[in-house]
A and B are shown apart, each in its own frame.
Chain A
Amino acid sequence: MKKELKIPRIKNGTVIDHIPAGNAVKVLRILGIHEKTTYVVSVAINVKSKLGRKDIVKVENRELDPHELDKIALISPKATINIIRDYDVAEKHKVELPKEITGIVSCPNPTCVSNANEPVNSRFKVVCKDPPRIKCYYCEREPDDIAERII
Chain B
Amino acid sequence: MSFFLIRMNFKGKDVISIKDFSKKEINYILEYSKKMVPYAKGEKYKDILRGKILSSLFFEPSTRTRLSFDSAMNRLGGRIIGFSDPSGTSQKKGENLADTIRMADSYSDVIVIRHPHEGAARLAAEFADAPVLNAGDGAGRHPTQCLLDLFTILTEKKSISKNRIVLLGDLKYGRTVHSLAYALSMYKAELTFVSPKSLRMPKEVFDECNELGVEPKQTTNLEKAIKDADVLYATRIQKERFPDPAEYNRVVGSYNIDNELLEKADEDLVVMHPLPRVTEISHEVDTTKHAVYFKQAFNGVPVRMALLSLVNGGML
Contact = CB atoms under 8 A, between A and B. Distances in A.
Contact of B96 (A119, A136, A140): A119
Given A119-B98, A120-B126, A139-B140, A113 B119 contact: yes
Given A113-B123, A139-B137, A142-B204, 18 more contacts: A111-B116, A112-B118, A112-B119, A113-B118, A113-B122, A113-B137, A116-B97, A117-B96, A118-B97, A119-B98, A120-B123, A138-B120, A138-B122, A139-B118, A139-B138, A139-B140, A140-B118, A140-B140
A137 B98 CA distance: 16
Interface string A39-58: 00000000000000000000
A100 to B, nearest CB: 14
A123 to B, nearest CB: 9
Contacts of A114: 119, 123
A109 to B, nearest CB: 6
Interface in B114-151: 115-120, 122-123, 126, 137-141
Given A118-B96, A119-B98, A142-B204, A109 B118 contact: yes
Interface in B76-118: 94, 96-98, 115-118
The majority secondary structure among interface residues of chain A is loop
Contacts of B120: 113, 138
A116 B117 contact: yes
Contacts of B96: 116-119
A137 B122 contact: yes
A42 to B, nearest CB: 40
8 contacts: A111-B118, A112-B117, A113-B137, A119-B96, A120-B123, A136-B119, A139-B118, A139-B119
A111 B117 contact: yes
B138 A111 contact: yes
B204 A111 contact: no
Interface residues of A, number: 17
Interface in A102-132: 109, 111-114, 116-120
- Across chains A and B, which 5 residue pairs bring their CB atoms closest together, nearest first? A138-B119, A139-B118, A113-B119, A113-B117, A139-B119
B139 to A, nearest CB: 7
Contacts of A112: 117-119
Interface in B190-227: 204
A141 B137 CA distance: 13
Contacts of B117: 111-113, 116
Contacts of B115: 113
A61 B94 CA distance: 46
Interface string B65-81: 00000000000000000
